[in-house]
Amino acid sequence: MLALPTALAIAALAAPAAADMASGYNVHNPHRRLVQRAVTTDAASVAKQTFDFVVIGGGIGGLVAGARLAEWSNQTVLILEAGGDGSDVVQAQTIPGYTYHHGVAFGSPYGWNYTTNVQAEAGNAVKAYPLGRGLGGSGAVNGMFWGKASAVEYNSWSETLFPDGKYKWNWDNMDAAIKKATTLQQPAQEQKDQFQIPVDPSAHGSSGPLQIGWSKYMYPILANWIPTWRTLGLPISDHSAGDPHGGTIVPSTMDAAQGARSDSRTGYIDNNNSPNLVVLTGHQGTKIIFSDKKDKNGNLVATGVQFAAADGATTYSVTANKEVIVSGGTIHSPKLLQLSGIGPKAHLESQGVTSLLDLPVGFNLQDHVSTSVVFNTVEGVETWGELSTNPELAAAELAKWNADRSGKWTYVNEATGYVSMADIAGDAANSITDSIDEASLIAQLSGRHNIPTSVQKGMATQFALQKKWMKTNIGQIEIILHMWGPTPNSLVLQCALQHPFSRGTVMINGTNPFNMPVINPDYFSASADATMMEHAHGFLRTFATTKPMGDVVTIEISPGANFTGAALQEYFRTGSGTEYHPLGTCAMLPQADGGVVDTNLKIYGTANVRVVDSSVIPMHISSHTMGTTYGVAEFGADIIKAENTKDFLNPSSSSSGTTKPTGATTDSSKPTGAAPASTGESAGMSTGAKIGVGVGVGIGGAALLGAILFFMCHRKKDKGGPAATDKTWYENGQQNNQWSNDRGEAYPMHAAGGNSFHQRSLSHSGSVSTMATADLPAARRYDEGGRYSNDSRGVL
């Protein structure tokens, strides 16, 4: 069945609408009538097709990068996601409190349900290792805390870790990229006053696809949070402003007006009708396919991706005409690369994988490790315990949420703060820091993991930075107020190590892509981490007894105030676990320092494979990780666009100096790419015919010949240079305006579980998950509720 009648497609190509010229929409796009935006599970409609960009992983990195690349209407983008589209778990993903009480990250198809290996220094225990699996990735199942790291930490990427990098990954560029992703919804003044919420609007975006805001309902005890930090003499600030030291009440990734989670799916996909974007869910990328021939610089050239729905199911493939973008997250990106032959040679060969590139993929795993202390409260203090133990209350609050998106289920944990080494250890901070001997620590950790010498060199730079930061105000420990204790009259204070010295690994376990990899964060393998954690508990106990928190918190019931020294260490080593923030396994570092990707996010030794997700973050940060991942993806997408312009790929054809990606210089860091390269040849890559999605299946021979002839004509025309409209589209900076703060009607959530939430009304099948790409032309037009009118772009 044809996606569109071929004759119609040809007619459209021949008759560009005037509106196209005005909007900069590429009238010469040979695919534009042959592809329709889809979220589908129909592998057959995608298999054997050709896309300019194939993105593997539909989480934060993948959906942001994929959606931004699809802004170039003459580029086709496929995003592959192993999990579902979320339509069967609407309540559990959408309602903030449900995320905790009925979350799908654990024990459901929307989580990978992984565990670590035995953690020798953490109670000899196997720890749960939840990761999101579905559109939106971990961002669709996570705790929704929003935040950025400090300016100092981001600046260290470009100043210390990668000083000669082509693109400047620093505070200015990360801050701008994170702002580009977000729209801030301010809390009501009354709420701001009651809870003393520090909000600095200038620290946030105002027109990005991702909504951030505060729960409509906050538990009264939160009014004690900020004053307690003040009593301790610690600063209060909006933690997105570049100095997250001290206490705060953060926004969540939430459309506060709708009392609903906002994530990369709701922000970048649900309301995005780019006709050149296809999202295939329920299919896991199993291998990147490489050409037998290398490019002229000796780099591997990826030509496509294999994928399958499950172990033993049919394996399909697609062709990647330009690039393969790996966005599986910190655990799955290294896994896929290793399965594809890119990784530590010795390990790959021991597992039966032919090594194509010997790179330290999977080393440098860093994770925030976290423990909890439980306190009783005085009678009458409201906590989450009520919702979990009183079904009538839970149902009544759900009815309230359904009626007007208010009530207790809108609450997620938002009270947090970061403390420095001096805050937790006082005068002992400096001596603890000085006692860390980097050289012997590196030798010790290398012995545990057989760490390559390049990675060891990188560790030396990282450890020097960590020690430097231990003598500053950079947060070493995060303190979180968690409202859900084991009984209604209890709550939890959590502490989490922000800059661990321990380093771990992620390594494949055999050649079967459906095997869980071996995840070894090796918590507390550096004894300095345990020392910091012990001091963190001391701070946490002080916090709990400091007024006004001390007015409502009574005794410590777990582990108990008598747990100190070795007993306390035993408690937190055994009871600790991930704060869900793994990163660093495909580190953006110089190759000599154990790097896997360059500052353009391209894997060393490949012509066209990039990594865009949390795995490239080189070193841990004093923040939850999703904000930074949005920044990586937004800035990364700009770089990819810049590096796919005609002028970048073929500098000799440049007619003016304005199109150079200026990030390529050391004095300017922002990519300012101009026109997208034609969908014709790109340097060193496959020159296979470009046939858009939907063409091929059942097409008549004569019609196909006609279409190809017509298409070739257009390609020839494109080769002469970009259409004027191409150029202006990007140069005018319109990419920044593609998403506006026009979300009021974007999430009309009716009865939970209803399709309306997804803003995807369907034509034939009535179910998102069974919709074929071919169904789309008859689907709801975007101007019926979305922001883009396809009519204005000259498309159906």
Contact positions vs ligand FAD (CB under 6 A): 56-62, 80-83, 105, 130-134, 137-139, 141-145, 284-285, 327-330, 332, 336, 580-581, 613-614, 624-627, 629
Q: Tell me whether residue 163 is exposed, middle or buried, using C-beta atoms within 10 angstroms of its C-beta: 0 to 12, 13 to 18, 19 or more.
A: exposed
Q: Which long-range contacts (CB under 8 A, 24 or more apart) does 173-176 make?
A: 173/635, 173/669, 173/670, 174/148, 174/628, 174/631, 174/635, 175/148, 175/151, 175/242, 175/631, 176/635
Instruction: Name the 3-class secondary structure at 115.
Output: strand
Q: Which is nearer to ligand FAD, 611 or 771 (CB)?
A: 611
> Taking the complex as a whole, how short is the minimal distance between the CB of residue 139 and ligand FAD, in angstroms?
4
Contacts of 564 (CB under 8 A, 6+ apart): none
Longest CA–CA separation in the chain, Å:
84
CA 738 – CA 732 distance, rounded (Å): 12
- Residue 351 Cβ, how far from ligand FAD at the closest point, in Å? 17
How many CB atoms within 10 Å of residue 360? Answer: 26
Task: Spot the catalytic one: 535, 581, 714, 758.
Answer: 581
What is the nearest approach in angstroms of ligand FAD to the Cβ of residue 263?
9
Residue 530 in 3-state DSSP? helix
The answer to whether residues 316 and 43 touch, using CB atoms and an 8 Å cutoff, is yes
Q: Which is nearer to ligand FAD, 456 or 498 (CB)?
A: 498
Neighbours of 342 (CB within 10 A): 29
As measured in angstroms, the least distance from the Cβ of 51 to ligand FAD is: 15
Question: Closest residue to ligand FAD, Cβ-based?
Answer: 59
Bridge partners, residue 477, by sequence: 419, 497
For ligand FAD, the closer CB: 456 or 773:
773
Least distance (Å) from ligand FAD to the CB of residue 605?
21
Q: Is 581 one of the annotated active-site residues of the chain?
A: yes
* DSSP-derived pairing of the beta strands 77-80 and 277-280: parallel
Nearer to ligand FAD, 480 or 553 (CB): 480
C-alpha atoms less than 13 angstroms from C-alpha of 131 in its C-beta half-sphere: 26
**Token pair 């009238």 in the structure block, residue:** 27
Token pair of 27, please?
Answer: 């009238």
Q: Distance between alpha carbon 590 and the CA centroid of its chain, in Å?
A: 22
Cα separation, 364 vs 585, in Å, equals: 5
Closer by beta carbon to ligand FAD, 131 or else 553: 131
* Complex with ligand FAD: residue 105 or 597, whichever CB lies closer: 105
- Nearest-approach distance from CB 62 to ligand FAD, in angstroms: 6
Q: Which is nearer to ligand FAD, 143 or 786 (CB)?
A: 143
Nearer to ligand FAD, 27 or 361 (CB): 361
Report the relative pairing of strands 125-129 and 114-119 from DSSP bridges.
Answer: antiparallel
DSSP state letter for 751: S
Spatial distance between the Cα atoms of 699 and 708, rounded to a whole number of angstroms: 12
Say which of 245, 368, 620, 624 is annotated catalytic.
624
327 vs 433 by CB, closer to ligand FAD: 327
Residue pair 110/83 in contact by the 8 Å Cβ criterion: yes
Tokens of 355: 């090594």
Angle between helical axes of 60-69 and 626-643 (0-180°, round to 10): 30
The separation between CA 560 and the C-alpha centre of its own chain, rounded to angstroms, equals 37
Q: How far is the CB of 332 from ligand FAD (least distance, A)?
A: 3
Beta strand residue intervals within 57-203, DSSP E = 77-80, 114-119, 125-129, 182-184
Residues noted as catalytic: 581, 624
